[in-house]
């Protein structure tokens, strides 16, 4: 059983990732942290195998925590799950031996695939005392295989974009960015970025409507 912490300041995204984690065998959630301070409190109080770490924390960047985590808790593995697309964050994550780097919004398929690959690596290393070529290929050659995709602007991921398109097709009566974010496990801001991108390339339309309490909201439709 792998003991896991979710460090995510958006409680809605944290809840979605908790639900994703519950569907992965041999993974046990020990706690959720909304900031860097709470993250270290959980690391101090429990024996943790894996930390699912966001970059944009309210009190300190997740990437700024990596040195301290490696220094104080060298056996804790880390998977970054973040909306950050700055290359410097990825480079720093790699330099500190982060297991994987997932860009939000993360689908349940991406989430499960990442944790499945992590489990396989750990179990394989724990089951042997000798290293051979097959083991090295598994450890260093099983990174995420990116699907071939057309050129997209920074901050727009091909797989997430396809997820948003599929969601729009399912929602014949249109969908708000808040609802879209809930559906795909992302924040409203992230969902709106993808929806507005589709509007900008004429693959979707948008209209201003009034919600239950009379608050105006933008509703998106597939073209």
pLDDT tens for each residue of 161-170: 888 998 999 8
Q: pLDDT tens-digit profile of 94-133?
A: 898 899 999 888 888 889 899 998 998 888 787 777 777 6
Does residue 45 register a pLDDT over 90? yes
Q: What residues does each domain of the chain span? A: 2-140, 158-222
Per-residue confidence (pLDDT) for residue 14, from 0 to 100: 94
Average pLDDT over residues 72-84: 91
Q: For the chain, what is the radius of gyration of the CA atoms?
A: 19
Among residues 166, 189, 153, 160, the alpha carbon closest in space to that of 13 is found at 189
Identical fold between 2-140 and 158-222 = no
CA 58 to CA 37: how far, in whole Å?
10
Q: Name the more confident of 87 and 79.
A: 79
Please state whether beta strands 216-222 and 175-176 pair in parallel, antiparallel, or not at all (unpaired).
antiparallel
Higher-pLDDT residue of 34, 156: 34
Q: What is the pLDDT of residue 144?
A: 44
pLDDT level of residue 150 (50, 70, 90 thresholds):
low
Strand partners, 3: 28
Which tokens is 138 given? 């598994």
Class of domain 158-222: mainly alpha
Average pLDDT along the chain: 86
The CATH number of domain 2-140, selected from 3.40.50.150, 3.40.50.2300, 3.40.50.970, 2.40.50.100: 3.40.50.2300
pLDDT score for 36: 92
- Give whichever of 39-43, 137-141, 151-155, 166-170 has the largest mean pLDDT: 39-43
Q: 10 Å Cβ neighbour count for 2?
A: 19
More confident residue, 215 or 19: 19
């Amino acid at each position: 059983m792998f003991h896991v912490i979710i460090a995510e300041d958006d409680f809605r995204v944290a809840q979605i990732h908790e639900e994703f984690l519950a569907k992965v065998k041999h993974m046990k959630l020990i706690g959720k942290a909304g900031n860097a301070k709470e993250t270290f409190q959980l690391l101090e109080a429990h024996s943790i195998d894996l930390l699912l770490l966001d970059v944009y924390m309210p009190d300190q960047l997740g990437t700024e925590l990596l040195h301290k985590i490696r220094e104080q808790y060298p056996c804790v593995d880390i998977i970054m799950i973040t909306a950050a697309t700055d290359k410097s964050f990825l480079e720093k994550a790699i330099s500190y031996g982060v297991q994987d780097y997932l860009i939000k919004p993360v689908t349940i398929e991406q989430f499960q695939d990442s944790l499945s690959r992590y489990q396989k690596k750990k179990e394989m290393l724990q089951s042997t005392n000798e290293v051979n070529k097959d083991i090295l290929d598994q450890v260093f050659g099983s990174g995420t295989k990116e699907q071939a995709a057309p050129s997209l602007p920074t901050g727009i991921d091909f797989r997430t974009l396809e997820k948003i398109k599929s969601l729009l097709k399912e929602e014949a009566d249109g969908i708000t960015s808040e609802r879209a974010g809930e559906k795909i496990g992302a924040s409203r801001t992230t969902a709106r970025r993808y929806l507005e991108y589709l509007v900008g390339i004429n693959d979707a339309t948008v209209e201003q409507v009034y919600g239950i309490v009379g608050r105006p909201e933008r509703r998106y439709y597939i073209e």
